[in-house]
């Protein structure tokens, strides 16, 4: 029995499906921590998280077993042991589990009990729930190993404490959401410490995976609830923690307690991580986007430059006869401040060509939104042509307010491979733009100073698809629209609920209808960074054909 433990926390990124690369990264950490007793890794680190239906392939199970045995072999001799998350098959059931690797073998395995099945999580579709676990014996110490959701609810931790666990190690795959970092520490896991009287290590991963991003923000709590370690947000980090047993139990020596991002820096860095990792993991040389002179494209371009560097971002201005000189100047100003190249490709020849093509078919019809959408689709085709020719991924620039009500053109400005603003309401875009003009994000590769002219932020938003067009011609002011949408989307409120909050009844009815009828557009939209509790995609899954209304 030992009275001292050295535990290394490995806050890593991942490559979903690349089991060999993930295993190689863990072996490198192991070799870099020769004086540790135990090295711990995030949930399902060998497979990557969330793996979705990938784990249903028998070839994945086989490779997981092979790579886990290779990891186990790396622990032979006098070096550290490892706690590694992987998938396990037993009695024709698949489990999300955690293996203790020591002395060159898989010494013990524990399965996840609480399977989340909400929001971005779909684990009951994939895994069986494990039995209530016993503590794992490690060098005379009883370790409780709640896996992610097992620590977010009290039962598993209380069960482990009741069986004599002396220390809780919670490995997680916990995606970023606004305010979630503080909630994990001060609400959820401090409650587990208080309930069990045990110290706790919380380990999370970093990096982007499709729509979700992981912010790290790992920490250690002693049994009195004091935070004695905080790992940084957003970055890979290895932290060695020193543990000592006394007559009152185990405690961890104090280390560095990092400061995590506050708003809106956290949102901006989440966008950087999501876009950077999506582009790099899918091997795009860079991104191309339409730069209109408006705030959404300016903010998207700024995030892209901060994520990838100016040399990997290609901006394109596509003016029509409705494009103002102010927009031309503002787009040029954005490109200059960001240091990106800006191409100008006028679309009037294509508009005139479509007018001629459709003249006979449209001869008995008035000009309406159809002609506006043609302009947007011409721009989409132009940008996709550049993407196809040169390989850069097309970045869309629509925000959540627009996507909520269908204020976007399918096969037009919705065309593309990724959207950093997909979960950002319009007022959030204003806030982020104002913040970025005064601050450089910690992860940013872009300029130190402003990234867009002030006029981009202060002028009334417009799609510029007809003369003197403003967003307010079709939509309520964003100061009204965004809180209303938050109530409908994030809170699932009814019309009467929102009217009781002071919203105009007819406005709420109209916006609720627009929200529902735009579902078919959102189903065809590209993925984008999840920021809040109910993003359009993994979090909110509504039928396209839907006759329900709350009035």
Enzyme catalytic residues: 43, 112, 148
Side-chain-side CA neighbours of residue 362 (13 Å): 12
Name the H helices within 41-189: 58-73, 123-126, 149-152, 154-162, 180-182
Strands 105-111 and 136-138: unpaired
Virtual torsion, Cα 515, 294, 423, 496, nearest 10 deg: -30
Report the b/e string of 274-294 with b at 16+ CB within 10 A.
bbbbbbebeebebbbbbbbbb
Side-chain-side CA neighbours of residue 545 (13 Å): 0
Q: Can you say whether the dihedral through the CA atoms of 401, 404, 405, 410 is positive or negative? A: positive
Q: Tokens 């730069």 belong to which residue? A: 291
Q: Name the residue among 521, 441, 29 with its Cα closest to residue 273.
A: 441
Q: Name the residue among 167, 151, 134 with its Cα closest to residue 7.
A: 167
Q: Tokens 């892209």 belong to which residue? A: 304
Report the b/e string of 152-188 with b at 16+ CB within 10 A.
bbeebbebbbeeebbbbbbbbbbbbbbebbeebbeeb
Rounded-to-integer distance, Cα 300 and Cα 297, Å: 5
Q: What is the 3-state secondary structure (H, E, C) of 194-243?
A: HHHCCCEEEECCEEEECCEEEEECCEEECCCCCEEEECCECCCEEEEEEE
Q: Name the residue among 254, 250, 251, 252 with its Cα closest to residue 1.
A: 250
Q: Please tell me whether the peptide bond between 264 and the residue prior to it is cis, using omega within 30 degrees of 0.
A: yes
Question: Structure tokens of 201?
Answer: 């290590």
- Residues ≥6 apart with Cβ < 8 Å to 90: none
Rounded-to-integer distance, Cα 278 and Cα 178, Å: 20
Q: Name the residue among 201, 383, 222, 386 with its Cα closest to residue 290.
A: 383
Query: Which three-class secondary structure state does DSSP give residue 51?
Result: coil
Q: Name the residue among 379, 301, 286 with its Cα closest to residue 336.
A: 301
Q: Tokens 């999840």 belong to which residue? A: 530
What radius of gyration do the chain's Cα atoms show? 26
Rounded-to-integer distance, Cα 314 and Cα 291, Å: 9
């Amino acid at each position: 029995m030992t009275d001292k433990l050295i535990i290394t926390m490995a806050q890593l990124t991942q490559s979903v499906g690349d089991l060999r690369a993930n295993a190689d990264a863990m072996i490198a950490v192991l070799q870099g921590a020769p004086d540790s007793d135990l090295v711990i890794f995030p949930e399902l680190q060998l497979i990557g998280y969330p793996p979705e239906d990938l784990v249903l392939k028998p070839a994945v199970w086989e490779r997981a077993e092979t790579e886990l045995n290779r990891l186990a072999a790396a622990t032979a001799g006098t070096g550290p042991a490892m706690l590694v998350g992987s998938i396990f098959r037993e009695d024709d059931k698949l489990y999300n589990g955690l293996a203790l690797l020591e002395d060159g073998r898989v010494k013990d395995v524990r399965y996840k009990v609480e399977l989340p099945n909400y929001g971005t999580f779909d684990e009951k579709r994939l895994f069986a729930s494990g039995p209530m676990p016993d503590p794992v014996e490690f060098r005379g110490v009883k370790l409780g190993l709640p896996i992610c959701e097992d620590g977010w609810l009290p039962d598993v931790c209380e069960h482990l404490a009741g069986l004599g666990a002396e220390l809780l190690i919670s490995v997680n795959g916990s995606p970023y959401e606004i305010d979630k970092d503080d909630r994990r520490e001060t609400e959820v896991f401090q409650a587990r410490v208080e309930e069990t009287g045990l110290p706790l290590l919380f380990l999370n991963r970093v990096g982007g995976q499709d729509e979700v991003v992981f912010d790290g923000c790992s920490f250690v709590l002693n049994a009195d609830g004091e935070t004695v370690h905080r790992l940084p947000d957003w970055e890979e980090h290895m932290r060695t923690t020193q543990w000592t047993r006394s007559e009152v139990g185990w405690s961890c020596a104090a280390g560095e307690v990092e400061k995590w991002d506050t708003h809106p820096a956290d949102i901006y860095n989440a966008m950087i991580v999501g876009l950077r990792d999506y582009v790099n993991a899918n091997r795009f040389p860079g991104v191309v986007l339409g730069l209109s002179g408006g705030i959404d494209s300016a903010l998207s371009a700024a995030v892209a430059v901060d994520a990838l560097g100016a040399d990997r971002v290609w901006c394109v201005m596509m003016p029509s006869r409705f494009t103002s000189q102010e927009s031309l100047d503002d787009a040029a100003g954005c490109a200059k401040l960001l240091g990106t190249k800006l191409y100008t490709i006028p679309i009037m020849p294509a508009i005139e060509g479509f007018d001629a093509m459709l003249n006979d078919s449209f001869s008995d019809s008035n000009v309406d939104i159809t002609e506006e959408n043609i302009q947007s689709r011409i721009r989409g085709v132009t940008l996709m042509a550049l993407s196809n020719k040169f390989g850069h991924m097309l970045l869309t620039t629509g925000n959540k307010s627009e996507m909520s009500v269908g204020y976007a053109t399918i096969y037009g400005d919705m065309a593309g491979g990724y959207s950093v603003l997909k979960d950002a309401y319009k007022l959030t875009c204003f806030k982020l733009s104002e913040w970025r003009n005064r601050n450089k994000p910690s992860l940013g590769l872009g300029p130190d100073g402003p990234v867009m002219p002030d006029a981009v932020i202060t002028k009334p938003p417009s799609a510029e698809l007809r003369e003197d067009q403003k967003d307010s011609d079709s939509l309520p002011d964003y100061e009204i629209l965004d809180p209303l949408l938050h109530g409908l989307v994030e809170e699932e409120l009814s019309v009467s609920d929102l009217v009781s909050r002071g919203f105009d009844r007819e406005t709420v009815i109209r916006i609720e209808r627009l929200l529902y009828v735009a579902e078919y557009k959102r189903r065809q939209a590209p993925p984008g960074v999840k920021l809040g509790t109910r993003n359009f995609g993994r979090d909110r899954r509504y039928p396209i054909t839907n006759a329900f209304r709350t009035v």
